[in-house]
Amino acid sequence: MVQPKNLIKPSLEGSTDFLRPPSANGAAQSAKRTPVMIPIRSLGPSHRERIAGHLLSLSDQDRYLRFGYAASDEQIQRYVAGLRFERDDIFGIYNRRLELIAMAHLAFSVDPSCASCSEFGVSVLQHARGRGYGARLFDRAIMHARNEGVTMMFIHALSENTAMLKIARNAGAVVERDGSESEAYLKLPAATMDSRVSEMVEDRYAEVDYRLKVQAKQFRDFLAGVREVRRGVRDARQKSAP
């Protein structure tokens, strides 16, 4: 694990803008500043198949940016099989079809000398980009890392991965480039009651959202089955008609 430098800027003193009332400077201006609350769900071992499906859906270039090399299907399967959910944390964003369109891996250090450090990695499917999902997953991971006692977050990325490096810089991280690779260091403030309550609220919101999406998908599948049966009955009648 690379040791942090002394150039790191403190940041992210507050991470719960969505809980605060709008300011008195005007509703329009406030609406522009207030981020949309995106349901981000914690993923566990039962989500391995969907995690694999998400990563396997990445293009060759996206796999290269995410892992730092052109990961093959077999290498991705090994990565997913090796995820340690009891140690690390995986966060994901689902669409209404329960497709995992964005996910982040918050890996905690196994080195006792860097026990309060973690590393962040993220991927977003091509058709879901431009909506700020990567930045929101980064914010979510920071909140959880703070609450787990992490004081330093690392983001290791290829220098050409400008989207990830921009997210890190916007959060206040110092980015150091070494040839084709870059390392970002972000110092995290200590957990507060605000950060702990915010995480509980976000967890609950994401869980309710996921259950609603499951129910909606089940209902859509049911309707599709009914339509299929009706279509079959109608075709049978037409064939049997004189």
Question: What mean pLDDT, rounded, does the chain reach?
Answer: 82
The Cα diameter of the chain in Å comes to 87
* Per-residue pLDDT reduced to its tens digit, 101-139: 999 999 998 887 787 899 999 999 999 999 999 999 999
**Does 5 map to a domain?**
no
**Does 104 map to a domain?**
yes
DSSP of 8-33, one letter per residue?
PPB--S---GGGSPPPTT-HHHHHHH
Q: Quick check: helix, strand or coil at residue 97?
A: coil
pLDDT for 78 beyond 70? yes
**Does 149 map to a domain?**
yes
**Does 18 map to a domain?**
no
Full domain range(s) for residue 145: 36-225
Residue with tokens 């959202």: 209
Share of the chain above pLDDT 90, in %: 52
**Does 156 map to a domain?**
yes
**Does 171 map to a domain?**
yes
Res 36: pLDDT: 64
Helical packing angle, 73-81 and 60-67, nearest 10°: 40
The CATH number covering residue 102 comes to 3.40.630.30
Mean pLDDT of 51-80: 95
Band of the pLDDT at 228, cuts 50, 70, 90?
Answer: confident
Contact status, residue 175 vs residue 165, Cβ threshold 8 Å:
yes
119 C-beta neighbours (distance < 10 Å), count = 19
Res 124: pLDDT: 96
Tell me how many domains the chain contains.
1
Res 10: pLDDT: 32
Band of the pLDDT at 29, cuts 50, 70, 90?
Answer: very low
Say what the pTM is.
Answer: 0.73
Beta bridge partners of 187: 10, 152
Mean pLDDT of 72-76: 97
**Does 236 map to a domain?**
no
**Does 49 map to a domain?**
yes
- At residue 24, what is the residue type? A
Q: Which is nearest to 175 in space by CA: 120, 166, 55, 111?
A: 166
Res 6: pLDDT: 36
Residue with tokens 């930045």: 135
